[in-house]
Amino acid sequence: MRRLPLIIAGMTVALSGCVSNKTMQTVQIGDDDKSCEELRADLAVLGAKFQEAKDEQGVTGKNVGLAIVFWPGIIVNESQSSKNEESVDRRITHLTGIYNKKCLNPSQSASPAEENDSA
């Protein structure tokens, strides 16, 4: 019975050190309606999130702490960190495609009605 509080404290420390689920949807409502400025801002934020997810992989303070208290937690941390990184990368790829079509080749994304108006 005396060891129960110690076990609970150890599990609390182990679970608090885990990488959180920060996965995101690749395609979100309103992506196609964003302006070039909004797309650039979103891509900048996603770049920081990608770096954060990347920094959570490998030998980190969290993983070292987990190795001491609960070694299987390292596997969970690495798996979740990899999922987070992959989801951010897919979102960046998706928004970059929209940005390239909309902002780098604006004549290709114009509707036929807009092209007739400009003629």
Q: For residues 32 and 102, what is the distance between their CA atoms, to the nearest angstrom?
A: 9
Taking CA atoms, 108 is separated from 7, 104, 112, in Å, by 62, 9, 10
Give the pLDDT band of residue 72 (cuts 50, 70, 90): confident
Please state the pTM of the whole predicted model.
0.67
Query: Is 8's pLDDT higher than 50?
Result: yes
Which of 47, 43, 46 lies closest to 99 in space, CA to CA?
A: 43
Which of 51, 48, 30, 13 lies closest to 95 in space, CA to CA?
A: 30
